[in-house]
Amino acid sequence: MRIGCHLSVAKGFQKTVMAAPELGATCFQYFTKNPRGFRGAKALDLNDAARGKALMEELDLVAIGHTPYLINLASPEDELFNLSVDALVQDLVIAQARNTYGVVVHCGKHKGQGVEFGIERMHQALALVLEKNTTEGVMVLIENTAGQGSEVGFTLEQLLAIVEPFSSDQIGFCFDTQHAYAAGILSPDDPREFPGFSNPEFMGRLRAIHFNDSKVPFNSRKDRHQLIGQGAMGLEMMGDILNDPRLEAIPFYLETPVNDEREYKAEIEVCHDLLK
Ligand SMILES: [Zn+2]
């Protein structure tokens, strides 16, 4: 089973790949660009990408990219909508150069236009992304949201509706445990009862788990991660998810709020201790 974490690429991709095994991570995630902006992205260093890619093979690691938070694939405003489509197209290029199998993007915000509008807008955006896409084999991974503000994609029905027109080779899912708990779809009574885990459409597209505990209560509709076992979800619930045999082949990525990346070593150990 692969368990890893989010890592910085500030010192170059090759350094990120080298950092992963030191933390006990067998998979990792990185931001394709500055997480808070569209600009400020350094030009892709192809040599660094190629060295990192070779090292990943040698060390048997897998990785995914994560798009900046400003991307809004459901935006009613054309400017932000088009900027978001182009940013995602570019992120797929970055991901391919680094041999990372997917790029995670949050479901969009409809900004008062309603869930139906938001889903329709995401269909338009994803169709454009796939039309402009120049890469092969890199998937767009749609991440479920906490349902904060006007976010769409916080129920299983919405998630399935978003991906419905597209091939499961191109559009997959990344499932964030904290978002699902805050959205009220991952129950503290038994997280294994989440209907997605027994839904072939959902499982056929599931390529990544964001494994996070929650700072906020069940169904509070807020995106606030906590360290594993120290939040509202707690060790037992986190263990139930981690040990679900249906998720065994899916890489687990921690995005818990550490002060320093090195603290992920202890977080990954907590996960290994939970494994039965
Ligand atoms: Zn996440």
Per-residue pLDDT tens digits for 235-275? 999 999 999 999 999 999 999 999 999 999 999 999 999 99
Tell whether the model's pLDDT for residue 100 goes beyond 80: yes
What number of CA atoms fall less than 13 Å from residue 11's CA on the CB side?
7
Alpha carbon of 271 to ligand 1 centroid (Å):
17
pTM attached to this predicted model: 0.96
Domain containing 44 — which CATH number?
Answer: 3.20.20.150
pLDDT band at 40 (very low <50, low <70, confident <90, very high): very low
Q: Which of 163, 150, 143, 70 is nearest to 118 (CA)?
A: 150
Overall number of domains in the chain: 1
Tell whether the model's pLDDT for residue 86 goes beyond 70: yes
What mean pLDDT comes out for the span 35-43? Answer: 64
């998810």: which residue's tokens?
241
Residue 6 identity (one-letter amino acid): H
Alpha carbon of 109 to ligand 1 centroid (Å):
16
CB 113 within 8 A of CB 75: no
Residue 52 CB: number of other CB atoms within 10 A?
25
Tell whether the model's pLDDT for residue 152 goes beyond 90: yes
Q: What is the pLDDT of residues 187-220, one digit of tens each?
A: 999 999 999 999 999 999 999 999 999 999 999 9
Interatomic CA distance for residues 109 and 233, integer angstroms: 26
Tell whether the model's pLDDT for residue 35 goes beyond 90: no
> What pLDDT shows up at residue 43?
72
CB 188 within 8 A of CB 179: no
- Nearby residues of 43 by Cβ (< 8 Å), 6 or more positions away: none
Print the domain residue range for 71.
Answer: 3-274
The rounded mean pLDDT for the chain is 96
What mean pLDDT comes out for the span 56-78? Answer: 96
pLDDT band at 42 (very low <50, low <70, confident <90, very high): low
Identify the active-site residue in 91, 205, 225, 264.
225
Active site residue 110: no
Active site residue 240: no
Alpha carbon of 116 to ligand 1 centroid (Å):
23
Alpha carbon of 189 to ligand 1 centroid (Å):
22
Interatomic CA distance for residues 62 and 4, integer angstroms: 9
